[in-house]
Chains A and B, each alone.
Chain A
Amino acid sequence: MSRSIGRRIEFEVAGRVVGPALAAFERAKKLARRRGPGRPGKKSSPFGPPLEATRKLKELMTTHYLAGRYADGAVPVAWVTSGFPVEILRPLGYHAVYPENHAALCSVQRVVPELSDAVEKEGYARDLCSYARTDLGSVLTGKTPVGRLPKPDLLCCCTNICQTVLYWYRALAAHFGVPLFVLDTPYVYGQAPGHHRTYVRAQLEELVGIAERVAGKRVEPDELEAVVRVARDGTRLWGECLAQSRARPAPWTGFDGFFHIAPIVTLRGTEACNAYYRMLRDELAHRVARGVGGIRDERHRLLWDNLPVWFDVRGMSTLLAERGFNFVCTSYTNAWAEAGSRIDPADPIGSAVLAYTHIILNQDLPNRLDILRRLSRDYSVDGAVLHSDRSCKPYSIGQIDLKQRLARELDIKVLVLEADHGDPRAYSVEQGEGRLTAFMESFA
């Protein structure tokens, strides 16, 4: 595969100059709009003042997607799952595309039905994970709210979040005709036996070879170590951001976290990611010091389990905030902070074995219960909402038992909410809001 210098310049310019400029322009447009005639009769917002960091977040992500438009032909491109050890690809100069993050974006923009329809016509059942349907639909139709996604040179899929990604990436491999690297992390029941660790380690070594071959370059150990260090620090910083919400009131909402998670997922191992979280953490700490909350009147603190309902995050958080409820922690955003403790720059491969095998979705239910219990206590919650996500079986199976155990052991109120993380057609807003409202009323 040939990569041209001209393309490389376009890629760099897009990422470094045009992206930030464009983001600034968008911001200016929005500000101008906001300064226009005020909207009379609108209720005052139940939320605290908006986070300053959000602006930077938009800039970061706009830049990432904009650079992506010019990445193929300029640098090697990998499409990777959210739980993949991207650290190994970074020193080789890969541009990493995260189809899950892209699908979430599509859901927020409410284009999932259209993209999904396109693949349903091909024979993909609507019962399959909506991330996969969205991504395959985008590949098939070429439609995406980010303009364009670069074609992959390598597909990288790790089974530590689910097997769905495996089937989905197999289909991508058949479509693009490029190599697929599956990092298979056997599910952990209790403790991971030694031969499972040996297996994951051997695969990581194979990955290095394959990624090098595709990139036409070798991984330098010191560069790898540097990236791993940055990734570990980034993960810790993200953990520090989340931990700010142990304060009362929590300085932001758990639903804000769903958006601010994007850099740790898609830009993990880059300085830009860490700079961002330093800024976010400082802002949050500052809010804590001044007693500024994510919602104006925090009366009840909740835990959220499973993926967000991307297309209705705003609606749900408003509904809750209006009644003084805040999701102060989520098992989903926490997952990206947990890994931090296991990453070790001195032993990039060995520590990756542990870090990437011990992911919440790759461990049994007792472990899951432990995490929920720990979060509930650390964040002093009075209740929990377990999002039963029609699209995500690994995250959802077991929630009915988890509900009973959490409620009994911690004496908190727990609701299982039926919805979907991506596809609005699988969720009835009316029913969902009805259930959430009834749940909130039970706290009176």
Chain B
Amino acid sequence: MRHAYIAKQRDEHGRKAVAVLPVHYPKELFTALDLLAVEMWGPPGAPVSADAGRVQAYVCAVVRNALAFLASGRADACEAVLFPHTCDSIQGLATLVTDFGGWSKPSFVFQHPRGGPRPSSRAYYLSELGSLADGLAGLAGRPLEPEKLREAVRLHRRIDAARAALLDGRRRLALDDVELYRLLRRGEWLWPEDHLAELEAATARLGPSDVQRGAPVLITGYVPEPGTLFEVLCDAGAFVVADDYAAVGRRVVRPPAALDLADPFHALAELYWAAPPCPTRASDQVGRMRYLAELYRRSGAAGVIVHEQKFCEPELFDVAAVKKTFAGLGAKLLYLEGELETELSGQATTRLEAFVEMIAATARVA
């Protein structure tokens, strides 16, 4: 499906596709240059080629699968690849696959600042944006026009607004989790305007009053794979009321009311610091815990699911603090760890179901 879509985008609109590794990157630059960003979260399942053996078993499945995928030639529909500097493993992948074989087309890196909100970080972020913009403009074969970038920033704000409306109005939304996540995740590879159209169609299904009946849960973690997780949740009688997945909720920016677009690069920098806290961007831990506690309170969740990828350093280092935060709020919490399986294991299914049984019981008591 994606392949056909990428081909169509190229043939009908002249848009080159660029494969993008997780998590955060300035997508507006792509849109403004008519480049189609196609994100690679693995992909899930068994690695597609023997190149997976070029990294040790203790490297996360996202990097292992991406290495196998790139080296197998299956990403060749893309003209370039972008490695955001998310973690040591993606950093290693970036040099491994481009310098030692597997990917010979152009590649870019985007290294966001880790020093916190200091003047140096802001100045650097702007210069790093500029450097990526130059690289992408070279790939696109045209200069980046400020007005087109402004347009792109506006378009992506509408996408964010629609995503925020769906997530924040979750209880009133007549979609189940399986449908909702499928929709949200199509944004990882659809042309932004196409994605926006789907999102806006979905906002029409936001009703005036609550339609979700199950036990509401807050979910935080890396990436919602496997999707069958939502089937299990749904069957067990629960639904996601608040999302803090790195792949989903943490990429929905609720920008300051008046975003100054005079200099679109400054606007992008502004948005970068307005995004929800994420350990892959080195957000302050105390601030992140405050954010999660607030999300929990505001959403009225009856329980918390923490869903991580094995060996994922940035995420796993926060788990102890996350557990402590929610224990302090008296919230029930379930910890799940996966390796990009395509199906939930029997054991994980049991744990999810038991968790829903547990929170449903206390919700009744309350």
Chain A residues with CB under 8 Å of chain B are: 119, 122-125, 127-129, 132, 159, 162-164, 166-168, 170-171, 173-174, 180-184, 186-187, 189, 193, 195-196, 198-199, 202-203, 206, 364-366, 388, 390, 393-394, 396-401, 405, 418
**Do A206 and B119 touch across chains, with their CB atoms under 8 A apart?**
yes
Q: Which chain A residues border B99 with CB–CB below 8 Å? A: 364-366
Q: A186-B85, A400-B54, A401-B100 are in contact. Are A124 and B285 (CB under 8 A)?
A: no
- B155 near A: Cβ within 8 Å? no
Q: Are A127 and B58 in contact (CB under 8 A)?
A: yes
Contact at A164–B88, with CB atoms within 8 Å? Answer: yes
Closest 4 CB pairs of A and B: A397-B92, A167-B317, A123-B320, A202-B120
With beta carbons under 8 angstroms apart, the residue of A163, A183, A199 that contacts B313 is A163
Given B92, B314, B319, B322, which contacts A125 in the complex, CB threshold below 8 Å? B319
With both beta carbons as reference points, the residue of chain A lying nearest to B58 in the complex is identified as A390
Residues of B within 8 A of A195 (CB): 124, 127-128, 130-131
B63 partner residues in chain A, CB cutoff 8 A: 397
Q: Quick one: which of B281-320 are within 8 Å of A by CB?
A: 282, 284-286, 289, 310-311, 313-314, 316-320
Render B37-56 as a binary contact track against A, CB cut-off 8 A, 1 for contact: 00000000000000001111
- B337: nearest residue on chain A (CB-CB)? A125
Q: Check A167–B318 contact: CB distance below 8 A.
A: yes
Q: How far is the CA of A401 from the CA of B118 in the complex (A)?
A: 39
Chain B residues with CB under 8 A of A122: 320, 323-324
Q: Is the interface of B mostly helix, strand, loop or mixed?
A: helix
A170→B317 CA distance, assembly (Å): 9
Residue of B nearest to A123 (CB): B320
Closest A residue to B92 by CB, please name it.
Answer: A397
- Whether B116 is near chain A, meaning CB under 8 Å from some CB there, is yes
B residues with CB within 8 A of A: 53-56, 58-59, 63, 85, 87-89, 91-96, 99-101, 109, 111, 113-116, 118-121, 123-124, 127-128, 130-131, 279, 282, 284-286, 289, 310-311, 313-314, 316-324, 335, 337
8 Å CB contact of B95 from A183, A202, A393, A398: A398
B96 partner residues in chain A, CB cutoff 8 A: 365, 397-398, 401
Contact of A203 among B118, B279, B318 (CB under 8 A): B118
Chain A residue nearest in CB terms to B310: A127
Give Cα distance in the complex from A203 to B319, angstroms. 29
Docked complex Cα distance between A427 and B337 (Å): 23
Once the chains bind, are B127 and A198 in contact (CB under 8 Å)? yes
Answer whether A397 and B320 are a contact pair too, CB < 8 Å, given A127-B58, A198-B127.
no
Closest to B116 in A: A182
- What chain B residues lie within 8 Å of A365 (beta carbons)? 92, 95-96, 99-100
Q: In chain B, what residue has the closest Cβ to A167?
A: B317
Chain B residue nearest to A201 in the complex (CB) = B120
Residues of B near A182 (CB, < 8 A) are 114-116, 282
- Cα-based distance from A181 to B59 in the complex (angstroms): 28
Decide: A397 and B59 in contact? CB cutoff 8 A: yes
Report how far A186 CA is from B195 CA in the complex, Å.
Answer: 33
Choose from A124, A174, A199 the contact partner of B124 (Cβ within 8 Å). Answer: A199
Most A CB within 10 A of own CB, among B115, B116, B279, B289? B115
* Chain B proximity of A72: nearest CB distance (Å): 22
CA–CA, A157 and B115, complex, Å: 10
Q: Are the C-beta atoms of A394 and B54 separated by less than 8 Å?
A: no
- The 18 listed contacts between A and B (C-beta, < 8 Å) are A122-B324, A123-B319, A123-B320, A163-B88, A163-B91, A163-B314, A167-B317, A171-B321, A182-B282, A186-B111, A187-B85, A195-B127, A198-B127, A202-B120, A203-B115, A365-B96, A393-B58, A400-B56
Residues in B with CB closer than 8 Å to A399 are 56
Complex Cα–Cα for A195 and B135 (A): 14
